[in-house]
Amino acid sequence: MEQISVVGIDVSKDRLDVHVLPAGEAWSVSRDGEGLDELCRRLSGTARLVALEATGGYETIVAATLSSEGVPVVVVNPAQVRAFANALGQRAKTDPIDARVIARFAEATQPEIRPLPDRATRLLADLVARRRQIVEMIVAERQRLHRTEPPRVRKSIEWLLKALEKELASVDHDIDGSVRSSPVWREKEDLMRSVPSVGPIIARTILAELPELGTLDHKRIAALVGLAPFTRQSGVWKGKASIGGGRSAVRTALFMGAQTAKRWNPALKAFYERLIAAGKPKMVATIAVARKLLTILNAILRDKTPWQNA
């Protein structure tokens, strides 16, 4: 069968719209077992690259099914695809059009294909994400409690806080069980926690959200997390270097780790103080500490060697 160049798939709740390049062929299947079987049958052994957008979870079963059949699949950032569509002047937006735009985006950018997380890793990622949501709800309810006077409303908030705290403890127990039941994860967590300022939440967020840690070089891992600075400039005008994109949950966890590290980790504290002495703003120095912390963790997992105090 003729090799297909690139396939774009627009994922919705009930349907998958498919666009094939360079042939320009377009078709759709239902997003159920029968439709996924047909999708795999038509693409297996013929597609060089299949791209689909992250769509709030609908894409997960599609990507996992294709990957399990050996189809090279990559999940792309919908904001980048939309910006690409705008650059093409593509204002109309329907599912078939979106599939075509995704295919053209993948053809133009050639995104790197990485192995998808296995089922256990996806479960841990979901638990960590749920924990983050519960913590956000607890913070919001505590803020409401401080601003509320009527006893009936305060009682309602206090009841909900108790329920959320109980659920948080339950999720923490599940996360701990998931990590401790896996020898590989247990080893990785222990290695990461050997670094002063890295606690269980940071380590488990990284385990769940950044399985590539230890397998890439420091520049690529920083870019993956969104901690690699990029500069904006045009002619004689030069903008400030910025960070962004990437995996925000990991970046947030590393930033919190950096806040602790710049006070209590001897090596990173000295690094932070050198940057401040050189005139760097505190926020810039803290981001640099977060990036260095990521580099240290990457090397520790790569070499399987715990933290050594200098």
Quote the CATH superfamily of domain 6-109: ATPase, nucleotide binding domain (3.30.420.40)
Please report the DSSP string for 53-90 in residue order.
Answer: E--TTHHHHHHHHHHHTT--EEEE-HHHHHHHHHHHT-
* pLDDT value of residue 229: 67
pLDDT of 65 higher than 60: yes
Burial-class residue 184 by CB neighbours within 10 Å (0-12, 13-18, 19+).
exposed
* pLDDT value of residue 235: 47
Task: Give the lowest-confidence range in 54-58, 74-78, 174-178.
Answer: 54-58
Average pLDDT over residues 60-75: 83
Question: Of the candidates 258, 271, 264, 267, which has an alpha carbon nearest to the alpha carbon of residue 310?
Answer: 267
In the chain, domain spans = 6-109, 119-181, 209-303
Each residue's pLDDT tens digit, 103-135? 999 999 888 877 677 778 888 888 888 999 999
User: Mean pLDDT, the chain, as a whole number?
Assistant: 87
* pLDDT value of residue 236: 46
Three-state SS for 91?
A: coil
* pLDDT value of residue 3: 55
Average pLDDT over residues 224-236: 64
* pLDDT value of residue 241: 53
Element (H, E) at 30: strand 25-30
pLDDT of 4 higher than 80: no
Give long-range contacts, CB 8 A cutoff, 24+ apart: 27-32. 28/95, 28/96, 31/58, 31/61, 31/62
Element (H, E) at 25: strand 25-30
- pTM flag (> 0.75): no
pLDDT of 239 higher than 50: no
Question: Of the candidates 172, 191, 195, 174, which has an alpha carbon nearest to the alpha carbon of residue 183?
Answer: 191
pLDDT of 237 higher than 80: no
* pLDDT value of residue 1: 44
